[in-house]
Amino acid sequence: MPFDGLVLSAVRQELNDKLIGGRIDRIHQPTKDELILNIHHPGGRQRLLLSAHAFKARVHTTTESKENPPSPPLFCMVLRKHLEGGRICGFHQPGLDRVLRIEVEARDELGQTVKKLLICEIMGKHSNIILVNEASNTIIDGIKRYSHTVSRHREVLPKRIYLPPPEQGKQNPLVLTEETFRECLLSGSLEARVANIIQKFFDGLSPLICREIVYRSGLPDNLILDHCGDHELRMLWQALQSIIVPARDKKFKPTALFDRYGKPVDFAAFDILHLEGFSKETGEMCSVLDCYYSAVHKFDQINSQKQSLYQVIRKEISRVQKKLSLHRQSLQDANEAEQYRIYGELLTANLYRLSKGETEVYLENFYDPQGAKLSVPLDPQLTPVENSQQYFKKYLKAKNTITNAEEQLQKAQADLNYLESVATSVDQAITVSELVEIRQEMIEQSYISDIKNQIKLNKNKKEQEKPRPMSFNSTDGYIILVGKNNKQNDYLTTKIANDEDIWLHTKDIPGSHVIIRSGGNKVPENTLLEAASLAGYFSKARDSSKVPVDYTYKKYVHKPKGAKPGYVIYENQKTLYVDPGEDILEKLALND
């Protein structure tokens, strides 16, 4: 996990510098595995966040304010009883273990000063926060309680003796010698990657830092132990020292990496050189962590909203696909209409030869060039005339069914195309505001029942913020506009674009409307290809090659009355084939 012993060491150093002597004013527990300690110290006030989350366990100060539950959980109440009003004496970390001991001096019920330990164990799904009485080394309580039925090593229950997490038998790199380093490496499997061996035998190093060590050594990323000689071992030792020596001297370089959309990628206590193409956030360790996990929380919210929309979309797509299947079956059944008409006409032409009670007759088929006889089933309970009339009725009914089924099939296919376009928009949304727009669109289209929001939307329709499509500058200096969802596509095509602008869209594939602002000039071929690449990238075919993109003048694009958002018809188009990829985003500048 990214939060390794080096990160915790950097955090511990900052907390010792800033919070020792601080008084714990208030304790909150916003979620079941997260605590906020409000600390007053000579330099001001700080919020110290402690988390025992299975995937986001951590310790750092934060500026983020979190909403608390109406009533505090039991563990929060225990901490308030024992720690509120207490002063922080120190923060301690055994070696490079992911364990932080917070020493707090507080007063007990008799007014006597006692020392308590708030121990934060950052160990993935086994993470915990445990309150311990230092004098007796007994557990007062833990944010996660468990007995020997869960862990054979120890119990985390009130009044049990506190036992630290089991030793992993790893070497502490802060006190490591080159000889021990070599011995540990050479004890690994010859086919194992060196980065994995380093992570296995040395404490406090995340997989990210282990890969960084191999990178700094100048050796191949996938280097295996069998390919290591004296030179390689010496280069690896020097690369390790480039990180460990500054860590020993408390000279950290905290770094968090983010992609082009601001999505968090990774973080470390030192600069990460082997990952390129990402923006970096640097500063104090706590500040970097706060920034990183704020972004994690933001994208967790985005993913949660996406899943909520996906659930609706999948349900609707399933419903529409069932309708399509039924309509296709109706058409298939109704294709016998012509046969019913032939039966009826053959019976009418041969009434004089037929009598009631027959179940089948063979009549010359005058529609067949060969004049072959055709078997016509009959209902023996009906007269020949009634049998003939029965077939004509079936013929008329089947014809009506075909007309209706074709209309319904067309409508259902349009609904499916629309839902797939919405799914593409959801998949490519990167901000909460984009998802809000999509949700509002689905409410307006009655796919989501939200009466409260619907009333609000209707009241504020005129006051709603106008959609803001993405804007790029082509290498020739032309502005290229890209819609991020159906509402933006409609606004871009029907409100923003001029008749002489170039309109682009992937051919028969859900995706964004793209506009090149031509200014009445002939658009260079290079700009046309760049805009087509954007259309391909912001479509369902993003990961495909040779994607067809239609383009035409905007004056040839029309939105039918009553059509769903994003749906248009166009003519006089030409088609380009492009290979969309993220390199187009690196090539073109995105305007604010």
Residue 15 is part of a domain; what is its CATH number?
2.30.310.10
pLDDT (average), residues 573-589: 88
Contact 397, 341 (CB under 8 A): no
Tokens of 328: 């296709």
Q: Is residue 72 a part of any domain in this protein?
A: yes
Position 468 confidence tier, pLDDT thresholds 50, 70, 90: confident
Position 455 confidence tier, pLDDT thresholds 50, 70, 90: very low
Tell me the C-alpha distance between 315 and 447, whole Å.
Answer: 10
- Clarify whether residues 24 and 136 are in a common domain: yes
Tell me the C-alpha distance between 186 and 225, whole Å.
Answer: 7
pLDDT (average), residues 461-468: 64
Position 555 confidence tier, pLDDT thresholds 50, 70, 90: very high
Domain count, the chain: 4
- Clarify whether residues 447 and 483 are in a common domain: no
Position 451 confidence tier, pLDDT thresholds 50, 70, 90: low
Give the residue, 322 or 405, on which the prediction is more confident.
Answer: 322
Which helix (DSSP H) or strand (DSSP E) does residue 104 occupy? strand 99-107
Residue type, 233: L
pLDDT digits (tens, 9 = 90+) for 344-365: 888 898 888 888 988 999 888 8
Tell me the C-alpha distance between 345 and 334, whole Å.
Answer: 18
Phi, psi (rounded to 5 degrees) for 36: -125, 120
pLDDT (average), residues 523-530: 94
440 has pLDDT over 80: yes
379: containing domain: 308-465
Output the pLDDT for position 465: 65
DSSP string, 162-218: P-PPPP---B-GGG--HHHHHHHHHTS-TTSBHHHHHHHHBTT--HHHHHHHHHHTT
Q: Three-state SS for 358?
A: coil
Tell me the C-alpha distance between 317 and 415, whole Å.
Answer: 8
Residues paired with 103 in a beta bridge: 90, 117
- Clarify whether residues 119 and 218 are in a common domain: no
Position 242 confidence tier, pLDDT thresholds 50, 70, 90: very high
Tell me the C-alpha distance between 393 and 398, whole Å.
Answer: 9
Q: Is residue 32 a part of any domain in this protein?
A: yes
**What does each C-alpha distance from 261 to 209, 213, 298, 550 come to in angstroms?**
24, 28, 12, 28
State the helix-helix crossing angle for 207-216 and 230-248, rounded to 10 degrees. 120
Output the pLDDT for position 464: 57
Output the pLDDT for position 332: 76
Percent pLDDT > 70 in the chain is 97
pLDDT digits (tens, 9 = 90+) for 4-34: 999 999 999 999 999 999 999 999 999 999 9
Output the pLDDT for position 592: 63
Report how far apart the first and last C-alpha atoms of the chain are (Å, whole number): 35
Tell me the C-alpha distance between 531 and 506, whole Å.
Answer: 11
pTM reported for the whole predicted model: 0.80
Tell me the C-alpha distance between 388 and 385, whole Å.
Answer: 5
461 has pLDDT over 80: no
Q: In terms of C-beta distances under 8 Å and separation of at least 24 residues, what long-range contacts does 342-345 make, across chains too?
A: 342/367, 342/374, 343/376, 343/377, 343/391, 344/388, 344/389, 344/391, 344/392, 344/395
Q: Is residue 165 a part of any domain in this protein?
A: no
Strands 87-92 and 99-107: antiparallel
Position 585 confidence tier, pLDDT thresholds 50, 70, 90: confident
Q: Is residue 150 a part of any domain in this protein?
A: no
- Clarify whether residues 264 and 387 are in a common domain: no
572 has pLDDT over 80: yes
pLDDT, averaged across the chain = 91
CATH number, domain of 203, equals: 1.10.8.50
pLDDT (average), residues 417-422: 92
Look at residues 87, 122, 142 and tell me which one is the last residue of a structural domain: 142
Tell me the C-alpha distance between 350 and 332, whole Å.
Answer: 29
Q: In which residue are the tokens 């909150």 written? A: 28
Output the pLDDT for position 65: 86
Output the pLDDT for position 405: 79
- Tally Cβ neighbours within 10 Å of residue 495: 9
Contact 267, 207 (CB under 8 A): no
Residues paired with 364 in a beta bridge: 373
Contact 437, 483 (CB under 8 A): no
Residue type, 140: I
pLDDT (average), residues 286-307: 94
Angle, alpha carbons 314-317-320 (nearest 5°)? 150
Q: Three-state SS for 138?
A: strand
172 has pLDDT over 70: yes
Tell me the C-alpha distance between 513 and 515, whole Å.
Answer: 7
Q: Is residue 312 a part of any domain in this protein?
A: yes
pLDDT (average), residues 160-171: 92
Residues paired with 506 in a beta bridge: 549
Torsion (CA) 439, 444, 446, 452 in degrees, nearest 10: 80
- Clarify whether residues 491 and 510 are in a common domain: yes
- Clarify whether residues 460 and 538 are in a common domain: no
For 109, which DSSP code? T
- Clarify whether residues 243 and 104 are in a common domain: no
pLDDT (average), residues 170-190: 94
Residue type, 498: N
Entry field: residues in the chain: 592
- Clarify whether residues 322 and 238 are in a common domain: no
Tell me the C-alpha distance between 123 and 107, whole Å.
Answer: 31
Look at residues 96, 124, 142 and tell me which one is the last residue of a structural domain: 142
- Clarify whether residues 581 and 543 are in a common domain: yes
Look at residues 465, 494, 529 and tell me which one is the last residue of a structural domain: 465
Output the pLDDT for position 554: 95
Q: Is residue 509 a part of any domain in this protein?
A: yes
- Clarify whether residues 69 and 48 are in a common domain: yes
- Clarify whether residues 454 and 484 are in a common domain: no
Q: Is residue 147 a part of any domain in this protein?
A: no
- Clarify whether residues 348 and 258 are in a common domain: no
Output the pLDDT for position 462: 47
Position 433 confidence tier, pLDDT thresholds 50, 70, 90: confident
Q: Three-state SS for 294?
A: helix
Burial code of 509-546, b = ≥16 C-beta within 10 A, e = fewer? Answer: bbbbbbbbbbeeeebeeebbebbbbbbbbbbbbbeeee
Closest alpha carbon to 46 in 55, 34, 36: 36
Q: Is residue 242 a part of any domain in this protein?
A: yes
Give the residue, 553 or 365, on which the prediction is more confident.
Answer: 553
Contact 243, 270 (CB under 8 A): yes
Sheet arrangement for strand 255-258: 264-268, 255-258, 279-282
Give the residue, 367 or 541, on which the prediction is more confident.
Answer: 541
